[in-house]
Amino acid sequence: MRLDKFLKVSRLIKRRTVANEACDGGRVMINDKPAKASATVKVGDIITISFGNKEVRVRVLDVQETVRKETAGELYEEL
């Protein structure tokens, strides 16, 4: 699955366009490497997102095309 879509589906970032802008701005990394919005996300990847002075690190547990809002947190675990 594309990185921008995963960020939206997992609700780490609310909109896909915002996820695209974050990736283009170099604020999203997969396994400590800068990632484009089109990068492929796999189970076990570690995603780091920089929000201003705050940094969020998560490990991908599952990749699904669609998910309900209540279960979106099950796609990843915070590190």
Tokens of 33: 């490497």
Express each pLDDT in 12-64 by its tens digit.
Answer: 999 999 999 999 999 999 999 999 999 999 999 999 999 889 999 999 999 99
Closest among 47, 50, 44, 79 to 63, alpha carbons compared? 44
* Burial track 4-20 (b if 16+ CB lie within 10 A, e otherwise): bbbbbbbebbeeeeebb
Model pLDDT, residue 43: 94
Model pLDDT, residue 59: 96
Mode of pairing for the β-strands spanning 54-60 and 46-51:
antiparallel
Domain, as residue range, for 48: 3-78
Measured between alpha carbons, how far is 45 from 70 in angstroms, rounded to an integer? 22
Tell me, what CATH number does 34's domain have?
A: 3.10.290.10
Model pLDDT, residue 48: 96
Mean pLDDT of the region 9-13? 93
Mode of pairing for the β-strands spanning 46-51 and 76-78:
unpaired
